[in-house]
Structure formats: structure tokens, C-alpha cells
Amino acid sequence: MTDQQKLIKDCLRGKPPAQRQLYDQYAGFMLGVCYRYTKSMEDAEDVLQEGFVKVFTYLAQYKADGELGAWIRRIMVNTAINYLKKHKRYQTELLFSDPALHPVSADNPEVDLSAKELAELIRQLPPGFQTIFNLHAVEGYSHVDIGKLLGIHEGTSRSQYARARALLISWIKKNDIDSKIESYARP
Amino acid sequence: MHDHDFEKQVHQKMEELQLSPSYTVWERVEEKLHKKKRRRIVFWVPFLLAGLLIGGYYWMQDGINTKQAETFSTNPVSSPAHSAEKAPVTTETNVGTPNPKPSLVATSLQPAARIPARIKEQKQVASAATLPHAAPLSPELGETNKAGKNKGDRAQENQPAIVAVKTPVEEKKSEEKKSAATSGTAEEETGKVVTGAVILKDPSAATVSTILPLREPAQGISASVPAGELAARTIRLTTKSRFHWGINLELMKTSVNKGSLGKLFSQSLAAADQFSTPGTIPGNVGSTVPGPSAIQAATGFSAGFFLNRELTSRLTLSTGLNYALFANSVMIGSSRSSSSQFFNSTGIERYYLAGTSITGSKYTNKYHFIELPVLLQVQLNRGKLPVIWEGGLSLSRLLASNALHYNSSVGGYYKDNSLITHTQVGVLTGLQIKAFANARFPVLVGPQIQIGLSNLSAGTTSERNHLAQYGLQISTVIK
């Protein structure tokens, strides 16, 4: 029995030290996930807390053939989506527009930002854009899946993504230019 | 640069993102998990209790039924009490060798599981072997039997038949009463006919009834009644249980008795511990300290459940489990940190000066006990309001206490549970009036008094103090 299997077994038995160990192992990374979907650290921690309660409640349903981290991550993403749906401040109307009007640009700039900086830029996207961008670009969900998850049309997801991507790229470029100007301005 | 390079970069960067959650997140997770666990436990407790109660009830009932079945079957039909005196048709039954393996099948009215099959077999065979006469209550069945087997026999073998057994004397009587039986009164006299079975009432044991269904032939019984119609009998007992349980509550005045009953609950009772005389503060010659305050009775209560076993119609043995709160109060003065040698040696950090009714404040000494009483109850009269006297012993164990003890050398009260005898034996007696005796939940109300036989003060003291209480008890029989 591997250490992780033993850890899971102990968590299933409700042993607090094992639960704490599992939490410590994944909390940092999962908070990063929650952080990308929310607008404040408080909300991110709320999602993290709800997510871990679900993890421990439904741990018996975890099948050992998959990676535990990926399973927990899925729970966190779903918890985050539910959280956004529940709270009015995250509810924005996602209007359907023809994806053809907003084609995904072929622009693929170099991202010279740190993980935290990039995450901050993603969080500045409007809530709908932010969610769809995270789901597609980071989690790798297809637009069909995103449509099902958010209850929107697949085309809406595509067009919103294209607009989110374009917006983010423009910010990244601007950020790049600003940082270059700043570096030139230094004595 | 390739397509989706931007997405790859974003994905890669985001995989690196790690943040430190604040400590409160884990605390909240832990709290929610704990709550869920508690909720699960709380959810199951009522079901568990209900299961235990139902299981216990059926177990008890089954035991009683088995015992009753045994008693009944040992001499089931020799008494006129078990005969169907007014059977419309009587038939002769010759007894042959007993059936070694009679098969028993329960009717729809009688779940076979209620009486262990082994006992049913043995006892019913015994009863069949001693049957001098048997009489089918169904006229159709009787006629069929007289004629021997006909085409209906096979069909009826698997049907419950109505049969009662008779002694020769009863048979004669039944002839005399035949007309009454045919006029429809037989049912009332012999028992209640229910869906092809008859319940025979037993006058000698008024609460016992039997159902006698027939299904398969019994070997060794040759009679005008086909053997197949008579052999198997299932006995259904609607016996009144000898066990009863219920809940009880007692509100009481409790105090400490210093020996004689005459001083019980006396207002001027002195402090009930080994340090009962005023003393002097060590090193302060001539400086007297207040004596112990009088102990006042206080209100306590006990609550729990009881289990009664009827020994005879008037005598009952009762036991149970109660939580009991005994209390009394003393007057204490201000709190002091302990500087005297006595307190230092005992490790006690604070004590209270003895107080008076003017200067002091009231302190209630509480003793929490779990109590196991064993009582004998005697019903003194019959009628609508039976009066029951009860008396017995009570074994109790101290769970917790905040009682203060007086030390005359410093004139103060302090807490030390090692000075209390944790296991107490008491004697108790009381009267109870049983109201609504015939109702589903009879209520018993009456006074009760209890005196502790054990010394409350533990240790080397020669002082004898006993817990004492009197109060009003109310209880109800659930089943």
C-alpha cells in the first residue's frame, strides 16, 4: 500500500491528522485554482473550504486509478462554478454573439509574466470571460462542455472566449510595453 | 509561433500558481466535517433506539409467549376451560400412537415464528395424544368427517379448519346446550371465530386465547374426523405481558441527614462534614473563625426509566436507571487564596470563608448520581384507584459534584470530591396511586422518601452523614 493509499484510507476512517495532511498537501495548489475563478482572496478561500468539505465527504467515491490531485481539482472547479452561480456579484449576462464576428486571433504573444501576475490579469477579466477563459485555456474544457457546465450555448462560449483571449493578450502586450518603458526609464 | 502556444503558456504558468491559504480555512473545514459527523450520529440515534425498543419488546413477548405456550400445551384440553362446550357437532376421536413428526403450518392469522416450532410440535403432539374427544365446530366439516373421506377432503386438507376438543363430560354438557349453539350463541361461548380458525378462551387464564387451525394429517389419530384435519394446531397467545416499562420523574427536597431521622431536613442542621466546630486561625491565638453554616435543604430531581416484572397479581418487582440530582445549600463568605498549611498540603488554591445569613451568599452543593433502584411493589387494594406501596434499595454512583467541605482550622469551605463516598446505598419507600389504571398509559403519582445508608463523608472521619430526600414521584407505564 502506497503512502497516498494509506492516507486516503485514514481519511476515510475520519482520522483528523490524515485529513489535515491531505489538506496541507493540496491546499496551496487548489487555492491557486480557486483564486483564478474569483475576484477576491476571501471568495477564493470560501471556495477552497467548501471544496475540501466535499473532498472529504465524497472521498469514498474517488477511484484509485485516477490521480487524486486531478480529482480534487475537478471538485474545486465545480465548486467554484457553483459559487459563482450562487453569488450575484459574479452573475453577468453572457450574450450570444456569432463566433464568426469574434474569431480567435492567431496572435500568440510570449507570456513573460509570473504565474501570479498572469493570474491577476485573468481575474481582471469580466466574470463571464474569466470563467470561460479559465475553463478552456487552463482546464482544457471543450466549448461543448463549457456550454453544458454553464448552461449556455456552445457558440456563446466560443465568442466569449475569443473576446477574453483578445482582451488578455492586449493587456499582456500593454504590460510588456509598460515594463519595457519602465526598464528604459531606469537610470 | 504555433497555434495555441498562448494557451499552452497560460496553462503552464497557471500550473505553477500556488498560494498559501489562511489558517482559518482549515478550521472551518474541520468544523464543518465535525458537524456533519455529529448530524449523522444524531440522525441514527432515534432509529437505533427505536430498533432496540422494538427488538426488546418482541424478544420479551416471544419469551413470554413461549413460556405460556409451554404451560398451556402441557395440559391443553383436559380442563373444561379449553373445550368448545357448545359445539354444534361432536365427533369421537380415538388416540393412537403419537405423531413423531407432526408438521405445523401457521395460518394467515398466526405467524409461525411467534412460537418456536420445536415447542409447538412437542406440546401439540402431547395434547393430541391425550385428546379423548374432538369436535369440529364447522357443521359442514363434521358431516364430511362422518361420511369419511369424500372429494372435498383433499381440498380441505390445506385449509384451516375449526376444531375444538372436548372431554366426555363436556360432550354431555354440549349436547344439552346444542340448541343454544345452533342458535348462534356458540360463538360467544366458545370463542371468537375468525377467518376459518377459532380462538378458544381460557377462563382459568382469562387472557389466554388460542387459535386452532388445521392443515396436515397427524399420524396416530384415527377418528371420524380425518386425521389430516385435526393434527396441527397453532396456539396464539394474546397474553398480557408480565413485564412493563415506563418513565419516571421525581421532584424532591434533598439534604444531608446527620444520623437520626428526626433531624432530617432540619433547618438548623450543621455543616455535614468532619469539620463541624468553630476553630482558630493557626498562629492567630484568640482569633476565632466562624463556624460552619447551617445546611439547608434544596430542590433536586431524578428522572429515568423503570422495568417492572409482575410476580403475582399484587406483587411487582421493579428496577430501572435514574439520573438523580441531590442538592443542599450553605452560606459562604468571600473567597480567599489558600495560605494555610492545611490547604497548601492538599494543593487547594482557594477556599471560601464561612458566611452567615446576613453577610454570606448562598452556595448550592450539587451531587449528580446515576441510580439503580430495586423495589418491591405491593398493590394494597383493587378498584379504580389502586394504591401501591413500594420499598427497596437503591445503589447509586456519584458522577460529579461541586460540594464544598468545611475546615474548622481555617474556618473555610473548599472543594474536594475525594471526601465524598462515590458509591451510595440507600433505602427508599413510598406510596403510589395508580390513576387511569385501565388506560393505555396509566399514571402513578405519590410520595417517596429515601435515606442513604452509606456515609456521605469518605475518609477517616467518625462523623456520619447521609443523603436524604423526600419528594413527589410521577411515573407512567409505557408498555
Q: For residue A49, give the nearest of B6, B17, B25 by CB distance.
A: B25
**Helix boundaries (H) for B75-182:** 117-129, 139-146, 151-157, 168-176, 178-180
For residue B18, the chain A residues in CB contact (below 8 A) are 28-29, 31-32
What pLDDT, on a 0 to 100 scale, did the predictor assign at position A142? 92
Q: Are A49 and A75 in contact (CB under 8 A)?
A: no
Domain range annotation of chain B: 71-230, 243-477
ipTM confidence score: 0.84
Taking CB atoms and an 8 Å cut-off, how many pairs form between chains A and B? 90
Confidence band (pLDDT; 50, 70, 90) for A80?
A: very high
Residues in CB range of A48: below 8 A, 6 or more apart: A27, A30, A31, A34, A76, B21, B25
What pLDDT, on a 0 to 100 scale, did the predictor assign at position A99? 62
- Nearest partner of A145 among A98, B112, B121, A153, judged by Cα: A153
For residue A56, the chain B residues in CB contact (below 8 A) are 29, 33
With a cut of 50, say whether residue B120 has pLDDT above it: no
- The structural domains of chain A, ordered by start, are 3-90 (1.10.1740.10), 99-185 (1.10.10.10)
What pLDDT, on a 0 to 100 scale, did the predictor assign at position A46? 93
Q: For residue A45, give the nearest of B16, B25, B36 by CB distance.
A: B25
Query: Residue B183: helix, strand or coil by DSSP?
Result: helix
Query: Residue B209: helix, strand or coil by DSSP?
Result: strand
CATH number for the domain formed by residue range(s) B243-477: 2.40.160.20
Share of chain A above pLDDT 90, in %: 34
**Helix boundaries (H) for chain A:** 3-12, 16-37, 41-57, 68-86, 115-123, 127-133, 143-150, 154-185
How far is B55 from A119, CA to CA, in rounded Å?
61
Interface of B with A in 8-27 (CB under 8 A): 9-11, 13-14, 16-22, 24-26
Query: Across the interface, do B4 and A108 touch by the CB < 8 Å criterion?
Result: yes
How far is B426 from B468, CA to CA, in rounded Å?
9
The highest-confidence range among B163-167, B169-173, B314-318, by mean pLDDT, is: B314-318
The whole-angstrom distance between B22's CA and the closest CA on chain A is 8
How far is B281 from B309, CA to CA, in rounded Å?
58
What is the average pLDDT score of chain B? 66
Residue A69 amino acid letter? G
Residue B158 DSSP code: T
Residue with cell 428526626: B262
Residues of A with CB under 8 A from a CB of B: 14, 16, 19-20, 23, 27-29, 31-32, 35-36, 44-45, 48-49, 52-53, 56-57, 106-111, 113-116, 118-119, 122, 136-138, 140, 165, 169
How far is B241 from B310, CA to CA, in rounded Å?
9
Confidence band (pLDDT; 50, 70, 90) for A180?
A: low
With a cut of 50, say whether residue B131 has pLDDT above it: no
Query: Across the interface, do A27 and B21 touch by the CB < 8 Å criterion?
Result: yes
Query: Across the interface, do A116 and B17 touch by the CB < 8 Å criterion?
Result: yes
Across B216-314, the runs of DSSP E, i.e. the strands, are 221-223, 243-257, 296-310
Q: Are B402 and B415 in contact (CB under 8 A)?
A: yes
Query: Across the interface, do B29 and A49 touch by the CB < 8 Å criterion?
Result: yes
What is the CA A176 to chain-centroid distance, rounded? 24
How far is B398 from B418, CA to CA, in rounded Å?
11
Between B141 and B354, whose confidence is greater?
B354
Q: Which of B151-160, B308-317, B372-381 is predicted with the least confidence, judged by mean pLDDT? A: B151-160
The DSSP bridge partners found for residue B165 are B134
> Which one of B1, B7, B10, B11 would you mutate to disrupt binding with A, by most A Cβ within 10 Å of its Cβ?
B10
**Helix A115-123 × helix B5-15 angle, to 10°:** 110
Buried/exposed code over B109-125 (b: 16+ C-beta within 10 A; e: otherwise): ebeeebbeeebbbebbb
Count of other CB atoms within 10 angstroms of residue B25: 19
Query: Across the interface, do B21 and A14 touch by the CB < 8 Å criterion?
Result: no
The arrangement of strands across the sheet holding B191-194 comes to B191-194, B197-201, B209-211
What is the CA A81 to chain-centroid distance, rounded? 9
Count of other CB atoms within 10 angstroms of residue A153: 14
Q: Give the end-to-end CA distance of chain A in Å, rounded to a whole number.
A: 60
Q: For residue A49, give the nearest of B17, B20, B28 by CB distance.
A: B28
> Degrees (nearest 5) of the Cα angle B463, B465, B468?
170
* Closest-CA residue of chain B to A113: B13
For residue B21, the chain A residues in CB contact (below 8 A) are 27-28, 31, 45, 48
Q: For residue B37, give the nearest of A14, A32, A138 by CB distance.
A: A14
Query: Across the interface, do B14 and A45 touch by the CB < 8 Å criterion?
Result: no
Q: Are B167 and B130 in contact (CB under 8 A)?
A: no
Q: For residue B17, give the nearest of A52, A119, A165 by CB distance.
A: A119
The highest-confidence range among A112-116, B99-103, B230-234, B342-346, by mean pLDDT, is: A112-116
Query: Across the interface, do A28 and B20 touch by the CB < 8 Å criterion?
Result: yes
For residue B37, the chain A residues in CB contact (below 8 A) are 14
For residue B20, the chain A residues in CB contact (below 8 A) are 28, 31
Count of other CB atoms within 10 angstroms of residue B302: 25
How far is B14 from B140, CA to CA, in rounded Å?
92
Q: Are B212 and B232 in contact (CB under 8 A)?
A: no
